[in-house]
A = this chain, B = another copy of it.
Amino acid sequence: MPKRSTVKKKRRSKAEQRAESLEQILDAAEYLFSRHGLHGVTLRDVAHRVGIHTTLLHYYFDDKRNLFEAVFARRAGETSRLRMAAMHQYELDSAGRPTVEGALHAFLDTDLDLYMRGGEPWMNYGAFCARVSNTTEGAALMDAYFDPVVLKLVNLLKQALPDYSDADIFWGYHFVTGALMTTLGRSGRIDRLSGGVCRSNDFAAVKKRIAKFMAAGFLALKER
């Protein structure tokens, strides 16, 4: 049984070694945390999945909570940045007259594209975030990393709906994020419920519908 580093005999620099180990650990932790949550995963589980000893996790990440946050932080910047850029671009393109649907396309489709393009690691990260988002503990992480991008969306929505109350805007966003998080969670329930007509992994099907669906919802709040 060869050690994992002897498979490729190529001599690795320490920086490379470090980076590779960090990434393998984060990938394994991301996968496991996304399915079982912080408390449903032991450091042994993570170490075993990587093929290392649990002490190495402490060497790189100090403790479990810190590893959890590192998983969250690793990709948060990229999704945030891409959505921010997409909304900024849309704001320019719409020349001061953004629509609800346009804003939602920039916010939602950009994110769904990222998960589809990113393959399994990004899909796992999406499920991880979905899990974090509906817990009280995890909420602080969401606040810290995603408030700016959400508030940017809210700002566009307010421009598109100048006569709306803040309450209508924020509750509408609340429904949007609920739909998005349930999508990212991919629990498999919609697959069974629909008898296979829908598949949890089919983000393309969601992307085809979600922005239009939610935009109509916002517009309907006026007539109340």
Interface residues in chain A, defined as those with a beta carbon under 8 Å from any beta carbon in chain B: 35-40, 130-131, 133-139, 142-143, 147, 150-151, 154, 166-168, 170-175, 177-183, 185, 187-190, 192-194, 197-198, 205-206, 208-210, 212-221, 223-224
- Bound-state Cα–Cα, A135 to B133, Å: 12
| A212: min CB distance to chain B, Å | 5
A135 to B209, Cβ gap below 8 A?
Answer: no
Copies in the complex: 2
By a CB distance below 8 angstroms, the chain B residues around A221 are 209, 212-213
B183 to A181, Cβ gap below 8 A?
Answer: no
By a CB distance below 8 angstroms, the chain B residues around A177 are 182
Say which residue of B38, B174, B206 sits within 8 Å of A182 (CB atoms).
B174
B37 to A187, Cβ gap below 8 A?
Answer: no
- Bound-state Cα–Cα, A151 to B219, Å: 28
Q: Contacts A134-B181, A213-B221, A221-B209; is A192 near B143 (CB within 8 Å)?
A: yes
A174 to B170, Cβ gap below 8 A?
Answer: no
By a CB distance below 8 angstroms, the chain B residues around A213 are 172, 175, 217-218, 220-221
- Bound-state Cα–Cα, A208 to B219, Å: 15
B37 to A206, Cβ gap below 8 A?
Answer: no
By a CB distance below 8 angstroms, the chain B residues around A212 are 220-221, 223-224
| A120: min CB distance to chain B, Å | 15
A142 to B209, Cβ gap below 8 A?
Answer: no
| A20: min CB distance to chain B, Å | 29
13 new A-B pairs (CB below 8 Å) besides A166-B194, A170-B198, A175-B175?
A: A37-B40, A38-B40, A133-B182, A134-B182, A134-B187, A135-B185, A136-B187, A167-B197, A167-B198, A170-B193, A174-B206, A208-B224, A213-B220
By a CB distance below 8 angstroms, the chain B residues around A187 are 133-136, 138-139, 142
By a CB distance below 8 angstroms, the chain B residues around A154 are 193
A175 to B214, Cβ gap below 8 A?
Answer: yes
Q: Contacts A135-B187, A147-B193; is A36 near B39 (CB within 8 Å)?
A: yes
B143 to A206, Cβ gap below 8 A?
Answer: no
Say which residue of B133, B136, B170, B208 sits within 8 Å of A35 (CB atoms).
B136
